[in-house]
Amino acid sequence: MSDKNPESSTSSTSCPFSISRSLTDSQTVGEENAYANALAQFDNALAHLKIKRGVADTLRYPKRELSVSFPVLMDNNDIKIFRGYRVHHSVVRGPTKGGIRYSPGVTLDEVRALAMWMTWKCALMNLPYGGAKGGVVVDPKLLSQRELERLTRRYATEISLMMGPESDIPAPDVGTNAQVMAWIMDTYSMHRGFSVPAVVTGKPVEIGGSLGRTEATGRGVAVTMLEALRLNGIDPQSATAVVQGFGNVGSVAARMAQEMGLKVIAISSSKGGIVRESGLDPSALARHVEESGSMLGFENADQISNEELLALKCDVLIAAAVENQITSRNADQVKAKIVAEGANGPTTPEADEILNAKGVFIIPDILCNAGGVTVSYLEWVQDLQSFFWPVEEINRKLQNLMLKAFESVMECARNYNVPNREAAQILAIKRISDALIIRGIYP
Ligand code: NAD
C-alpha cells in the first residue's frame, strides 16, 4: 500500500516509519552572504600581492564540495531527512582541517566561506593544513541525545569519503561539542576496524583529546586581546569588555578577560543579554545558565538586546557568536576601541570600512580565534605519535604561536599600510600561493 502524498509526514499502514522532509538549502543574499564576503576580503588582500591570476583563481574556489541528504530515525519512529555538507577549500599546504556546524541556518555558501577562512587561518598560524568545513541543517536543541547520536553517526558515514587522519580532520564548531566528535571518531573507527583517534580533534581526553583544547579558542582570543590593549596603550586593569555569544568561545574568553583584570560589563547569547556596569562574574553566570537554562534572572543585572549590547561603550567588544553581527546597519553605533573577532566572519566588509574609518582596532577572526585550530593541531600531533603532553606545555605552545602570528600581522599591516584583516590575509595568501607555485600545477 502506498502513501498517496509522498511528502506526507503521516505513516502509511504498511511502513513502520513515516517520512517528513526537513531539507532546506536557502542561500542568504547581499551583505549577509558569507561566501561573497569571504571573496570580497580575498580580493582586497589580493590587490596588494603580485599573484598570477590562475593561482589566485585556484584559491578563489573550493577544491571539492560534498552535499548529502540522509535519513535519521527519530525517537517516535519517524524518519527525517537532513541535509549536510563538507567542503575542502585547499589542500596545497596539507590535509584539510575545519569544524562541523549543526545549525538551522547552515547553507552551502556559509560552509564554503568558513572553509576558505580556515585555509587562511591555518596558513597564518603556519600549521600544515588547508581549510575545510562541514555542516548539517539542524537545530540540535530540538533533538534528543539518541537522535543527535544517530544523526552524527549517519552524517559521519556520509562524509567519510572526504574524511581521514591524513586527508581531512573535523573539529567542533557551533552546535557541536566533544561528545559529537567522540561519536564521529567511533563511527570512523568502526568502519576501519581499529581506533583512529587522529580523525577528529576536540575529542574528550579519555579517547585521545588534548588537554587545553576546550578552552583553546577563548584562551587565544584573550591572548590577542591583551596584546591589542598593550599596543593601544590601554591598561587591562582599568579596561571594560563586552562579550557577544556565551558558548564555548565566548564563555572562556569572558572568564579569561576577567582573570586578566578587565571588567566584563555585558554578555549575551542568541536569546539576548544582560548588563551590569559594576561588572559581571562570567563563571557565576555560566553556573546560572547551566542551572536555569538562560541568563534571565542573574542577580543585579539588567536585560539588554543584542543590538544594544553591540553599541555599548567599552574598550573591547568580543564578538564570539556567529557571522554577520556587525554590518553596515549598526557599525557606526559600535563604540568599542578594539573588536576581538572570536567568531568567524562577525564583521561584514561594509562594516569593516566603517570601523576602519572610525579607527577601531580589529583583531581579525583568522588571527583572534586561531587558538582552537592551533590546539587541534597539537591534538592531532599527539594522536599520531600516541604521546601526550601536560596542559602547561600545550598552553605555552599556544601562547607562543598566537603571539608570533599577532606580531607578524602587525608587521605586515605596517609594511603594507593596510588594516589588520587585510594584513592577516595578505600573509596567509602569500604563504599558500608560494606553496602552490613550488609544488607546481599537476600534471
Ligand atoms: P557555541 O554554539 O558554543 O556558542 C555560540 C553562542 O553564540 C551561544 O551562546 C549562542 O546563544 C550565541 N549566539 C548565536 N547567535 C547569536 C546572536 N545572533 N546574537 C548573540 N548570540 C548569539 O559556538 P562556539 O563554538 O562558541 O562558536 C562561536 C563562534 O566562534 C562561531 O563563529 C565559530 O565558528 C567560532 N569558532 C569556534 C571555535 C571553537 O573552537 N569552538 C574555533 C574557532 C572559531
Query: For the segment 198-223, what is each residue's pLDDT rounded down to a tens digit?
Result: 999 999 999 999 999 999 999 999 99
Q: Closest ligand 1 atom, CA of 273?
A: 20
Residues of the chain above pLDDT 90, percent: 92
CA of 398 to the centre of ligand 1 (A): 21
Which atom number of ligand 1 is nearest to the Cα of residue 172?
Answer: 41
Q: How confident is the model at residue 24 (pLDDT cuts 50, 70, 90)?
A: very low
Given a cut of 70, is residue 437 above it in pLDDT? yes
pLDDT at 194 over 90: yes
- State residue 10's pLDDT score: 35
pLDDT at 4: 35
Distance 378 CA to ligand 1 centre (A): 22
CA 51 / ligand 1 centre spacing (Å): 34
Nearest protein Cα to ligand 1, atom 3: 247
Average pLDDT rounded to a whole number, residues 76-96? 98
Known active-site residue 141: no
Ligand 1 centre and the CA of 278: distance in Å? 25
Q: Which residues line ligand 1 (CB under 6 A)?
A: 172-175, 217, 244-250, 268-270, 306, 320-322, 342-344, 369, 372
Indicate if the pLDDT at residue 8 is higher than 80: no
Which range among 13-17, 140-144, 296-300 has the greatest average pLDDT?
A: 140-144
Question: Mean pLDDT across the stretch 136-152?
Answer: 98
Instruction: Tell how far the Cα of 114 is from the centroid of ligand 1, in angstroms.
Output: 13
pLDDT score of 422 more than 60:
yes
The mean pLDDT of 161-168, rounded to a whole number, is 97
Per-residue model confidence (pLDDT) at position 279 = 98
Give every CB contact of residue 74 below 8 A, 6+ residues apart in sequence. 80, 147
60: pLDDT strictly greater than 70: yes
**pLDDT of 30:** 79
* Atom 8, ligand 1: residue with shortest CA distance: 247
| pLDDT of 362 higher than 80 | yes
Q: Whose CA is closest to atom 31 on ligand 1?
A: 343
- Which residue owns the Cα nearest ligand 1 atom 41? 173
Between the CA of 295 and the centroid of ligand 1 the distance, in Å, is 16
Mean pLDDT for the stretch of residues 420-435: 98
- Nearest atom (ligand 1) to Cα of 248: 26
pLDDT at 12 over 80: no
Question: Looking at ligand 1, which residue's alpha carbon is closest to its atom 27?
Answer: 174
Check pLDDT > 80 for residue 283.
yes
Q: Which ligand 1 atom is nearest residue 114's CA?
A: 34
Q: Which residues contact 146 (CB under 8 A, 6 or more apart)?
A: 75
- Considering the entire predicted model, what is its pTM? 0.93
pLDDT, position 27 = 63
| Whether residue 177 has pLDDT greater than 60 | yes
When comparing pLDDT for 388 and 16, which is higher? 388
Distance, in Å, from the CA atom of 113 to the CA atom of 133, rounded to the nearest integer, reads 9
Residue 323 CA: nearest ligand 1 atom is 32
> Looking at ligand 1, which residue's alpha carbon is closest to its atom 22?
270
Tell the residue number behind the cell numbers 607546481, with chain if given. 440
The pLDDT value recorded for residue 25 is 47
**Predicted local distance difference test score (pLDDT) of residue 29:** 65
Interval 289-327: pLDDT, tens: 999 999 989 999 999 999 999 999 999 999 999 999 999
pLDDT digit string (tens) for 90-140? 999 999 999 999 999 999 999 999 999 999 999 999 999 999 999 999 999
Task: Specify the pLDDT at position 226.
Answer: 98
- Pick from 168, 148, 124: which is nearest to 367 by CA? 124
The alpha carbon of 247 and the centre of ligand 1 are apart by a number of angstroms equal to: 6
pLDDT score of 2 more than 80: no
Closest-CA residue, ligand 1 atom 4, reads 247
User: Which residue's alpha carbon is at the smallest distance from atom 18 of ligand 1?
Assistant: 270
User: What would the mean pLDDT of 215-240 be, rounded to a whole number?
Assistant: 98
pLDDT of residue 11: 36
| pLDDT score of 366 more than 50 | yes
Residue from 248, 379, 398 to probe ligand 1 pocket by mutation (most atoms less than 8 Å from CB): 248
Q: Which among 249, 251, 308 is the best mutation to test ligand 1's pocket, defined by most ligand atoms within 8 Å of the CB?
A: 249
Nearest residue to 242 (alpha-carbon basis) of 104, 348, 138, 337:
337
- Residue to probe by mutation, ligand 1, list 122, 213, 244, 269, most atoms within 8 Å of CB: 269
- Which residue among 213, 270, 290 is best mutated to probe the pocket of ligand 1, counting the most ligand atoms within 8 A of its Cβ? 270
Catalytic residue, candidates 133, 203, 263, 337:
133
For all residues of the chain together, what is the average pLDDT?
94
**Lowest-pLDDT choice from 4-13, 197-206, 283-292:** 4-13
Q: pLDDT digit string (tens) for 247-277? A: 999 999 999 999 999 999 999 999 999 999 9
Q: Report which protein residue has its CA nearest ligand 1's atom 5.
A: 247
Q: What is the pLDDT of residue 198?
A: 98
Portion of the chain with pLDDT greater than 70, in percent = 93
Assign 368 a pLDDT band (cuts: 50, 70, 90).
very high
Rounded distance from Cα 34 to ligand 1 centre (Å): 15
